[in-house]
Structure 1
Amino acid sequence: MKPNFDPRSLYQSAVHALNKGQWPQAFDMGKQLLAVVPTHGGVHFVMGVSALQMQRMPEAMAHLREATRLSPQRADYAAQYARALAQTRQTRQAVEMADKAVAAGPADPLTLDTLGVIFSQGNENKKASELFKKAAEMVPGSASYRFNHATSLTFIGELDEAEREYEACLAIDPGYWKAHLALAQLKKQSADSNHLERLRSLLSDSGGRDQPRMYLNLAMAKELEDMGDYPAAFAHLVEGKKAGGETRGYKSADDQAIFDAIARAFPEPVQVSGGYDSEEPIFIIGLPRSGTTLVDRMLSSHPDVHSAGELQDFGIVLKRASGSRTRHLLDVDTVEKAAGCDWQRVGEAYIHATRPNTGHTPRFIDKLPHNFLYAGFIAKALPNAKIVCLRRNPMDSCLGNFRQLFAQTSPYYDYSFDIENCGRYWLMFDRLMRHWAQVLPGRILQVNYEDIVADQTAALNAVLEHCGLPWNDACLAFQDNAAPVATASAVQVREPLNNRSIGRWRRYDNELMPLRRLLEDAGVAID
């Protein structure tokens, strides 16, 4: 140790480095300080945040855990620990730590915003909205705070307020590109009320950069479709998706390898033995944009059912139980190693991971569409769980996936940047669902979206019967369900049931001819 070593001065330097984003320097200074003040919560906080920014997760978790233990009154310490827990896919623990941070009285906008993001990830959207609002009120000139507040308002159904917040965001920063798409999607645009002039001007000044090209073109596609200019809408849709997909390096063969591995893992009917005996979960699965949110809203209007949102928990639990150490949550290695899982432990761990968001009603819904990949594993781990799969006209299904910009941080949706890759993915999904019908007889109720629209009562009755739930009239009035919804259908499901999206693909008959040929060549009848 240097003779003139001054811990206070070094700590101030470490905090300064942290605030300037000099993560390695801050971490190294914290390491020096630990030799002198090992029980100083602030030192552990500096090291934990620095490690988190450098993606050195074990060190980040250890130091942030210690910071919150040593300084339980610091809301900002708890918020960053909650952030680390969320990044390591420990959503339940992250929400619990975020609650502790709120109880400690967060006073700065960054902490409020961080906690809002964590609550959003945990499907606690009302809590998120309150925190985002406080952050935006404290720093009204922050575009990101206004955007986050607007998004949370959308999820809880406050659409007029959301529109004002999106416009406030863009007034601060016209280049906050994703706000343009969010605003276009918030309501149906018309010839008298739209954003096309602004979008065209910004697009012409964008310099060909990928981010503005993607968001602005997709926003224009949505607004032009609303106004019935379908050829122009599709042209902008293609351009926007091309800009978003160019650097993703997607190969349909990679998805095919995973689908093939899943089918190989279940060569014969699954024996119902072992597993965890909980009857709580109802899994709603299917391709995105096929009606999964609609059925979720119908079922969660039942007093015995709670919608827990689109949970990643089953995939995370299976990954850990399999022992796979590969980067992706689901890949061939994970599927093959999952054969040795203790299915009772997997099921129990899944139920535990959903807490405290679940457990206060007899049943809860996990509405992650891509859980269709896990259906066989779910059947083994949770033999009493109910599974409902939504199906839709293949042309409408593929178009719906192509029109939507899904979470870009997820590898699940890379196929959706090209319309023909959407068709290839639909074929994989269809083959897998036919395989599940053979090896999981009676476990999965397949429901057509078009049948729900044609006779909501009959379709709902079949779903309730499959789930072992008694009839309840509230399920028919799903649009009155006040619960937040954080999916691409957040606006749509607040309207009464209608048939506007059925046969949407016919508006683009000429543009979708390559997709139609691909599906028909594979033996799919298009009507």
Structure 2
Amino acid sequence: MAVLTATEIQNTYAEALKLQTAGNREAALKIYLDIIKDHPRVAEAQYQIGVIHMAENRFTRAIPHLEAAAQLKPGEGAIWKIWTEAVALGGDAAAEETYLRLLKSAPVPVNIKLALQDRFGARRSSTRPATRGVPPAEMRRLLGMMEASRPAEAEQFAARLLIAHPGSAPVLNILATAQAVQGKAAQADAAFRKAIAADPGYAEAHDNFGRFLIDLRREDEAVRHFREAVILAPGLPSALVNFASALTRSGNSEPALVLLERAERAGVDSAPLHMAIGNVRMRTKNYAGAEEAFARALEVSNGKVIEAIGMLAQAQARIGKDDEALANFNRALELDKDSPVATAGKATLLQAFGDFEEADVLFRRSFELDPDNGENYRVFIASHKTKPGDPIIDQMLRQYENPRLSVTDRMNLGFALAKALEDTKDYGRVFHYLDEANRLMWAASPHNMAARRKVVDMTKSAYADFDWHGASIEGATDYAPIFVTGMPRSGTTLVEQIIASHSTVAGAGEVGEAAQSAHRFLADGKNARAVGEIPAAEIADLGREMERILRARRPEAERVTDKSIQSYMHLGLIRLAMPNARFVVVRRDPRDNLLSIYKNKFPEDTHQYAYDQRELVRYYGTFVEMIDFWRELVPDWFYEVQYEELVANPEEETRKLIAACGLDWEDACLSFHENKRKIETLSVYQVRQPITKSSVKGWQRYEKELKPMLDALREGGYVAD
């Protein structure tokens, strides 16, 4: 952007503000960032950037822009208000120090300044609600009733106190809590609201009300109160944990971790804290760290938190400690046969090993224990072949229409219903639920195609103009993994299952570390190192690091497969670092491939392009571009499998595949569906069945509904008709 005049800045700012007001925050953000790139002293743009980041729960990113705005216009109360909130929600010690130092000299009223200072000092961990003259001894007596688990008595006593001291916020808070414990939801709701109305700055009331709302599955409303509690008392332990947990459930793991680390630094060492840390680590795929956190939650609670045992088992299952995981699921169920976490977790583990019959029983039990949990239905349906008249359909439809259902649960149920209806050949109703499920996913986590485009261009630039065949890496490992890669839902799990059925090969599933290691190795901030400029010794070290990771997964195996979708991005570098590695790229008719992607929900923070038909095609184009790139440079370094040819001629194509992997033929590769290894992908059921052609040309059933995708595929030249 050229340097703007004052009038141009004003007009550009107005354009961005219009977009922001209309709800198009990201487009507005881009314009504001363009403004401050050359005009950093435009306080209004800095302020609005902070506002947008705060609205998107990017608290840490908001702080420097709000600081800049406050320094430019130190007398603006609106700037101080939201900067205070940003520091309370996402600030570390350094951010607080800067904030307090600038506040000290800011031209704001003294009473406001003192109140803001106290928020990070005397009132950091608790607030002082308006008691309306309730004697301290009476408050202690009321609290004692609750601590002694006498909520009915506490309710009656609180009601008497309120007659003498109407509007006492802490008494109203305890009254609401006592009513909630007794299941008096309507009365508790009203009492919590009165407590907050009596003293809007009462952090503990916001926190308690949030927990009450969570129990009622009113997640969005609860999050607002947890957030307000942390704003009012940035060190209130329960509020930090509760808000972080809510952020984690909504997919905002980064700000959640900031809050939890703050609680840890303050010396909190509670089971709820470690449970919350474990949940964040599960969401960010740090399963070993999650295992550690859940184990600590058990330790500090003396083994009394049964949910921690179930979550510990889930973490162990994700890192391949399957025997320990199963033992812990059973341990949790022995302590509480009605544990929803252990019931659903054990069902999922059994499903991964192909024990669909026992998993079916446990899943159905999980529906009774946790009827609003849409994810349990979606995971169950993946291995359940629904038949016409199956009562599971009506059961899911009733839950789907439940007005209390959270957005996340409705989204999961939408995917489950679409799959069940397709199973029963009720094709006319499939997209009613499928489009809505995808819309909800897209709204929660839209894909940034510009970022993807940048990564592809950067990667190609780093790998261009290099003599791949002439390069030799001294000291490179002779380890020989087999990487199976391609678009998701293209048949990669099937191909891996075939290869892993060979007696000398073990399937490691979606390890993913090779592609991630290669990307980190290549990238240097915003740019990428040209491969020709990287010392051979570093590349050899990269190969040995990849070997260490893969060997840790299956240490007993002679050969191992890694079905990592993104391996194709760094095919050349991985092969250079591991010269004996083999690559298999799986291709499928993009109409069937992209439809299959659109029909499924993927793990959080992965494949975010999957939930919009045209975005799917744009992303598919970058996949084709990268494969074409490698085919031009190193066509002999990978073998391509066409899914349609594999299912049409299984023996002929399987023999070619096994030979391309450098393996001797074994008949077991044709009986891949009998392999009992663990499968943790969306194809958990399909790969346990013999090869079928049933999914070929499945897109033709939905030509009308798929028009955006089909039009985009034709426009891109990816299909001829």
Q: Assess same fold via TM > 0.5.
A: yes
Work out whether 1:297 is the aligned partner of 2:493.
no
Measured after TM superposition, the shift of residue 107 of structure 1 is 5.9
What does residue 389 of structure 1 align with? 585
Alignment of 1:405-420 (within 5 A): 405-408=601-604, 410=605, 412-420=606-614
| Of 468, 493, 496, the match for 1:270 | 468
Deviation readout 1:332-378 (Å, 9 max, x if unpaired): x3745886471111110111122332232221001112222222321
- 3-state DSSP of counterpart to 2:561: strand
What does residue 633 of structure 2 align with? 439
| Of 378, 395, 411, the match for 1:181 | 378
| Of 281, 284, 302, the match for 2:481 | 281
Superposition TM-score, scaled by structure 2 size:
0.58
Measured after TM superposition, the shift of residue 477 of structure 1 is 0.2
- Mapped contact 2:480–2:578 kept (Cα < 8 A): no
Percent identity among equivalent residues? 25
Structure 1: distance between partners of 2:452 and 2:410: 27
Work out whether 1:354 is the aligned partner of 2:550.
yes
Change in 2 beyond 3 A, CA 1:481/1:194: same
1:186 alignment partner AA: S
1:309 alignment partner AA: G
- 3-state DSSP of counterpart to 1:133: helix
Structure 1: distance between partners of 2:325 and 2:303: 15
Measured after TM superposition, the shift of residue 131 of structure 1 is 2.3
Measured after TM superposition, the shift of residue 91 of structure 1 is 6.3
Measured after TM superposition, the shift of residue 324 of structure 1 is 4.7
Alignment of 1:486-501 (within 5 A): 486-501=680-695
What does residue 595 of structure 2 align with? 399
Structure 2: distance between partners of 1:94 and 1:211: 22
What does residue 420 of structure 2 align with? 223
- Mapped contact 1:388–1:447 kept (Cα < 8 A): yes
- 3-state DSSP of counterpart to 1:511: coil
Which piece of structure 1 moves more, 465-474 or 182-191? 182-191
Structure 2: distance between partners of 1:197 and 1:461: 45
Structure 1 regions of 5+ residues with no counterpart?
1-19, 28-50, 68-77, 326-332
1:392 alignment partner AA: R
Structure 2: distance between partners of 1:173 and 1:83: 18
- 3-state DSSP of counterpart to 1:390: strand
Work out whether 1:309 is the aligned partner of 2:506.
no
Change in 2 beyond 3 A, CA 1:373/1:387: same
Change in 2 beyond 3 A, CA 1:119/1:276: farther
Structure 2: distance between partners of 1:219 and 1:82: 27
Change in 2 beyond 3 A, CA 1:302/1:334: farther
What does residue 454 of structure 2 align with? 257
Measured after TM superposition, the shift of residue 89 of structure 1 is 6.5
Measured after TM superposition, the shift of residue 395 of structure 1 is 0.3
Change in 2 beyond 3 A, CA 1:98/1:361: farther
Measured after TM superposition, the shift of residue 90 of structure 1 is 6.8
Deviation readout 1:2-27 (Å, 9 max, x if unpaired): xxxxxxxxxxxxxxxxxx99996779
Measured after TM superposition, the shift of residue 451 of structure 1 is 1.2
What does residue 560 of structure 2 align with? 364
What does residue 190 of structure 1 align with? 387
| Of 698, 702, 705, the match for 1:504 | 698
Count of aligned pairs between the two proteins = 463
Change in 2 beyond 3 A, CA 1:183/1:114: closer
Alignment of 1:475-490 (within 5 A): 475-490=669-684
- 3-state DSSP of counterpart to 1:355: helix
1:131 alignment partner AA: N
What does residue 241 of structure 1 align with? 438
- 3-state DSSP of counterpart to 2:482: strand
Deviation readout 1:215-266 (Å, 9 max, x if unpaired): 1221111111111121310221011110121021323222222122222221
Work out whether 1:160 is the aligned partner of 2:352.
no
Measured after TM superposition, the shift of residue 288 of structure 1 is 0.7
What does residue 656 of structure 2 align with? 462
- Mapped contact 2:307–2:339 kept (Cα < 8 A): no
Structure 2: distance between partners of 1:421 and 1:86: 27
What does residue 400 of structure 2 align with? 203
- 3-state DSSP of counterpart to 2:444: coil
- Mapped contact 1:516–1:526 kept (Cα < 8 A): no
2:647 alignment partner AA: V
- Mapped contact 1:390–1:449 kept (Cα < 8 A): yes
- Mapped contact 1:296–1:365 kept (Cα < 8 A): yes
Deviation readout 1:148-181 (Å, 9 max, x if unpaired): 1111111011112112111211211211121121
- 3-state DSSP of counterpart to 1:468: coil
Deviation readout 1:71-123 (Å, 9 max, x if unpaired): xxxxxxx9999999988877679889999x99xxx966445324322222223
Alignment of 1:73-222 (within 5 A): 109-206=306-403, 209-222=406-419
1:523 alignment partner AA: G
Structure 2: distance between partners of 1:360 and 1:471: 21
- Mapped contact 1:241–1:418 kept (Cα < 8 A): yes
Measured after TM superposition, the shift of residue 196 of structure 1 is 2.1
Which piece of structure 1 moves more, 197-206 or 381-390? 197-206
- 3-state DSSP of counterpart to 1:442: helix
Which piece of structure 1 moves more, 431-440 or 372-381? 372-381
- 3-state DSSP of counterpart to 1:356: helix
Q: Which has the higher contact order (CA 8 A, sep 6+)?
A: 1
- Mapped contact 1:125–1:156 kept (Cα < 8 A): no
Q: Aligned-residue CA RMSD in angstroms?
A: 3.7
Structure 2: distance between partners of 1:257 and 1:151: 37
Which piece of structure 1 moves more, 244-253 or 297-306? 244-253
1:290 alignment partner AA: S
Structure 1: distance between partners of 2:354 and 2:312: 20
Structure 2: distance between partners of 1:389 and 1:164: 37
- Mapped contact 1:389–1:445 kept (Cα < 8 A): yes
Deviation readout 1:452-487 (Å, 9 max, x if unpaired): 111112212222222111011111100110111111
Change in 2 beyond 3 A, CA 1:497/1:323: closer
Work out whether 1:374 is the aligned partner of 2:570.
yes
Which piece of structure 1 moves more, 369-378 or 151-160? 369-378
1:225 alignment partner AA: E
Work out whether 1:425 is the aligned partner of 2:624.
no
- Mapped contact 1:304–1:361 kept (Cα < 8 A): yes
- Mapped contact 1:125–1:155 kept (Cα < 8 A): no
Measured after TM superposition, the shift of residue 449 of structure 1 is 0.8
Superposition TM-score, scaled by structure 1 size:
0.78
- 3-state DSSP of counterpart to 1:192: coil
Change in 2 beyond 3 A, CA 1:236/1:25: closer
